[in-house]
Amino acid sequence: MRRGTVHAIVGENGAGKSTLMKILYGMQRADEGTIEIDGKVVVLRSPSDAIALGVGMVHQHFQLADNFTVLENVILGDEPTKGGVLQLGEARERIQDIGRAYRLTVDPDAMVEDIGVGDRQRVEIIKVLYRGCQTLILDEPTAVLVPQEVEQLFSALAELKSQGLTVIFISHKLDEVLSVADEITVIRGGTTVTTVLPSEVTARQLAELMVGSELPSPETRESTVTDVTVLDASGISLTADSGRRLLDDISLRIHAGEVLGIAGVEGNGQAELVETIMGMHSSATGTVVLGEEDISSWSTRARREAGVGYIPEDRSRHGLLLEASLWENRVLGHQTQAPNAKGALIDRKGARADTDRIVAEYDVRTPSIDVMASSLSGGNQQKLIVGREMSGNPRLLIAAHPTRGVDVGAQAAIWDEIRKARALGLGVLLISADLDELIGLSDHIKVLLRGRFVADADPLTVTPELLGSAMTGAGGEES
């Protein structure tokens, strides 16, 4: 990478972008290879080392103390002092200097909790510049921004570039990458595919490079879709405490035997949509009808009892009790249903027997059903969850990133289960960042962008490239 350029690194989720950045910022050590800065080979053991060498990072999740002022956040750890006493005036001037020099204006005395997301990002950038860094790493900087803020960010980056700083820009929003980068490196499966100039490629070509050609396709085919509606959600909206619209008038319908796939870049409302259908957001508006019944006001438990299976996105936080045994995890989420419960009691025998069944049927590799869930690998944990959620004759299965962080074998097994569910006449809502998975398994795909459905796609004809464009709002609205 050359000084005074914006270098973009693109790749699919899990392609190794974040790992690469962590290594560059000293948060992880590389197994092999070297890093050179200004022609010298360096070893980065910690973020402090990286900062000392002039490499700073702006994390996707801001590392800011909300209850501190902008000023305090910027100077923390590198405070200008006289005999230990903070020299706030001096610091304020330096921040204002940086602001003027790079056109990054933020009120140094504002509380971070009172400022918007765009401002917060500017604070993060100022933090890095304040420490005299010449190289900035920005991890998915636009993921949380609205379009105007993205524009502001880009003009700030241009300013930085013109002053001779180097920016490494990690993203999977291809249109943005093309408009801001001087060079683009595409990585896939942990290795560099190629480095291209933005003038030489189109978004579609870039998407192809990102996705690659090899498709271990999870194909479904011959439609089993019936005209029996399993889930009918209409007009669903959800607003965050900050007033931001997380979901904006979402409507969807899933039939028995149908897999509805939701595509979208993470953070565009997928998680909220799932949680709303599960009844975990009491402030959400709109109606949810399961089969014939309006379940809009039902509790999560009632919805589960009514036959909604749920494979949550974050296994360890929402799907499992890590420090409980496998059979107790079999009960979780189905506390009130046979074979786990008899009246107000837990049916240990029934639950254990059924856990044995799941372990055998879904090939959960474990020495016993009495070990803690935390001792299983991610793939086996997920197979247990899938087996659990498929038990008890569900009508609707909600699967959020069902193959995330699992090995290839478990991935294939989970795909099989989703196909089986479809064949059995369940409605399936599938959310995934893996576009091949989505295209291969879904009967219909909807694209979610900033809390709204922006496109529909037919998996028989759509390609990952097209889908990728729609997800990032790069055009190709309908295929």
Partner 1 sequence: MSISKMSVPTPGEVLAPLALQRRTVKLTGWRLAALVAGVIAVLSFVRIVTGATQIDSAGTIAAAIGLAIPIGMAGLGGLWSERAGVVNIGLEGMMILGTWGAGWAGTLYGPWWGLIAGAAFGAIGGLVHAVATVTFGVDQIVSGVAINLLGLGITQYLSALVWPGQPTQSPSIPAIGTFTLPGFSDAMATIAEKGWFFVSDCASILRALTFQVPYTTFIAVALLPITFFLLWRTAFGLRLRSCGEAPHAAESLGVNVYLHKYIAVVVSGALAGFGGGVLATVLAGIYREGQTGGQGFIGLAAMIFGNWRVGGLGAGSLLFGYTQAMQLRSGDAVHALLLAIVVALVVLGVWMLWRRKFSGAITSLVVAGVAFLWYVTTDTLPDQVAYVTPYVATLLVLSLASQRLRMPAADGKPYIKGQDH
Partner 2 sequence: MRKIALVVAAPLLALAFAVLVTTVILIASGHAPIDVYKQMWDYGTQPDSLVLTLNLSTTYYLAAVSVAIGFKMNLFNIGVDGQYRLAALFAAFVGGRVSLPPVLHVTLIIVVAMAVGAMWAGAAAVLKNRRGVSEVISTIMLNYVATGVIAFLLTTDRFAVMTEGSNNIGTQPIPPSGQVPGFNVIPESTSPVFGLILLAALVGIGYWWMLSRTRFGFDLRATGLSPTAAVASGVNVKRMVLYVMLLSGAIAGLIGMPQLLGESHTYNLDFPAGLGFTGIAIALLGRNSPVGIVFGSLLWAFLDVSRQILDLTGVSKEIVTIMQGVAVLSVVIAYELVRRYGIAAQQREVGRQLAADAELAGATA
- Closest by CA to 330, choosing from 304, 357, 307, is 357
Which is closer to partner 2, CB of 160 or CB of 369? 369
- Least distance (Å) between residue 58 CB and partner 2: 28
Gap between the Cα atoms of 133 and 245, Å rounded: 35
Rounded to whole angstroms, the Cα distance separating 328 from 346 reads 10
DSSP code, position 163? T
How far is the CA of 214 from the CAs of 9, 60, 148, 396, in angstroms? 21, 30, 37, 32
Handedness of CA 76, 80, 82, 87 (dihedral sign): negative
**CB of 36: closest distance to partner 1 in angstroms?**
23
- Segment lying near partner 2 (by CB under 8 A), choices 102-110, 153-161, 206-214, 300-308: 300-308
> Among residue numbers 239 through 298, which ones bind partner 2 (CB under 8 A)?
278, 280
Parallel, antiparallel or unpaired: strands 345-346 and 341-342: antiparallel
- The contact mask relative to partner 2 for 316-355 (x = CB under 8 A, - = no) is -xxxxxxxx---x--xxx-xx----x--xxx-x-------
Give the whole-angstrom CA distance, residue 44 versus residue 22.
10
Of 139 and 272, the one with the shorter C-beta distance to partner 2 is 272
Q: In whole angstroms, how far apart are CA 14 and each of 19, 68, 69, 100?
A: 9, 34, 35, 38
Whole-number minimum distance, CB 14 to partner 2, in Å? 23
Residue 76 contact, options partner 1, partner 2, none, Cβ 5-8 Å cut-off depending on partner type:
partner 1
Q: Of residues 312, 464, 468, 473, which one binds partner 2 by CB under 8 A?
A: 312
Report the amino acid identity of residue 302.
Answer: A
- Interface positions with partner 1 (CB under 8 A): 47-48, 51, 63-68, 72-73, 75-79, 81, 84-86, 113-114, 127, 240-241, 246, 271-272, 275, 280-282, 314, 317-318
Cα–Cα distance, 382 to 261 (Å, whole number): 19
Q: How far is the CB of 212 from partner 2 (least distance, A)?
A: 31
Q: How far is the CB of 380 from partner 2 (least distance, A)?
A: 9
Site string for partner 2, 177-196 (x = CB under 8 A): --------------------
- 3-state SS string for 42-86: ECCCCHHHHHHCCEEEECCCCCCCCCCEHHHHHHCCCCCEECCEE
Helical axes 348-361 vs 378-390, angle rounded to 10°: 120
Which of the ranges 24-32, 44-52, 367-375, 469-477 carries the binding residues for partner 2, by CB under 8 A? 367-375
CB of 458 to partner 1, least distance (A): 31
Provide the binding-site residues for partner 2, judged by CB under 8 A: 278, 280, 299-305, 310, 312, 317-324, 328, 331-333, 335-336, 341, 344-346, 348, 365-367, 371-372, 374-376
